Amino acid sequence: MSIYSKVMVAIDLTEEAPQVLGKALEVSKAHGAELMLVHVVEPVGYAYGGDIPMDLSELQDQLDKAAHEQLQAYGDQYGISKENQVVTVGRPESEIHRLAKEQGVDLVIVGSHGRRGIQLLLGSTANGVLHGSECDVLAVRIN
């Protein structure tokens, strides 16, 4: 029996996403694990601190739609079923923790940019996922 039966890969839909996805696919295949693809859209209000008195719902809807389209394209390209493709809205660290717990995930895979200084090894999202996770976390170094 394998250590991992359900693996979640959380991507940010940047040009580096294929590096993280490729590694996640290798790990899930090596363990015969189900692979779940996740992207968290941050609420538009977070970017502006909620200080702008305007309706941002249309912009949020556009971001959600674009995220669903991009995630579906990656899902199709990497052979990940629609039921294992999730786009959610919220703070990335907390949404990843919530989904991992709800879905019974054994391993969460995230990308890491290998920052210097305070965030020496991990980016802020990868660091947040690592420190609050109830399961193993693999940080894939992005070149």
How far, CA to CA in Å, does 139 sit from each of 41, 55, 111?
20, 36, 5
- As given in the structure block, the two tokens for residue 80 are 């990940």
Sorted by where each starts, the structural domains of the chain and their CATH numbers stand as 6-141 (3.40.50.620)
Low-confidence ranges of the chain (pLDDT < 50): 117-121
pLDDT for 117 equals 45
pLDDT for 51 equals 58
pLDDT for 54 equals 65
pLDDT for 46 equals 56
pLDDT for 11 equals 93
pLDDT for 45 equals 64
pLDDT for 58 equals 82
∠ CA 46-51-57, rounded to 5°: 60
pLDDT for 29 equals 96
**% of the chain surpassing 70 pLDDT:** 84
Reported pTM: 0.85
